[in-house]
Amino acid sequence: MSRFEGVSVTVTGAAGVLGMAVAQAFQAEGASVTGIDIVETETPFPLCKADLIDFEDARRVMREIGRINVLANIAGGFTMGDTVETTSNETWDFMYNLNARTVFNTVRAVVPQMVERQRGKIVNVGALNALSGVGRMAAYSASKSVVIRLTESLAEELKSKHINVNCVLPSIIDTPRNREDMPKADFSTWVTPQAMAKVVLFLASTDADPIHGAALPVTGLA
């Protein structure tokens, strides 16, 4: 029997490189996968369109999906280049909304049903750069640090209800966009989306039942 046979998994940001890898990894392990994204594209699993920055839309799409045993919050993004004093309100809000508010909204929409069943797994995506401030990355680092604190708070609130909440902290993921932005880097030291997906699946599995509130660095050789 496959590890996630009969398990209903929802993956946010499922049209992106990492989200697609995570969704396909769950599917290969027998899960019933539903993706969520703000864009529409062809996927080998059902993909629902929703704006997760809008709580009402997040709640709407979660109700339409129905039972969710595992929520993988992969939606997010990255921008850099501005110093703190030159960071605009637009950039700050964009990073906060994309990386933190989407997680905040999805968990608020999903946790009640998990509490009712007294079972569930939530895996969020933070970032290694969320552990300390980095020059010209303040908005990104701050938004991802919020994800870590949300993960820890949720884990403390939900562990007695047999709901695990953890997050992964990738360094640099080997995506076409990152290769384009950093063409002189040694790509072999980066973490592949498929390797990241394996870590997400571990945290969503019964093997991770004793783990609550972890922020797990996934750095490859970088």
Q: Which residues are catalytic?
A: 140
Q: What is the DSSP string of 60-116?
A: HHHHHH---SEEEE----------GGG--HHHHHHHIIIIIIHHHHHHHHHHHHHHH
DSSP classification of residue 135: T
What DSSP element (H or E) covers 175?
Answer: none
Q: Hey, what are 23's tokens? A: 């969704």
Q: Which residues contact 19 (CB under 8 A, 6 or more apart)?
A: 11, 12, 13, 35, 37, 72, 74, 75
Measured between alpha carbons, how far is residue 78 from residues 64, 114, 139, 141, 157 in Å? 29, 30, 9, 9, 29
Q: What 8-state DSSP symbol labels residue 168?
A: E
Sequence-ordered list of residues with C-beta below 8 angstroms from that of 53, at least 6 positions apart, any chain: 97, 98, 101, 102, 105
Which tokens go with 106?
A: 């999805």
Structure-block tokens of residue 77: 């993004």
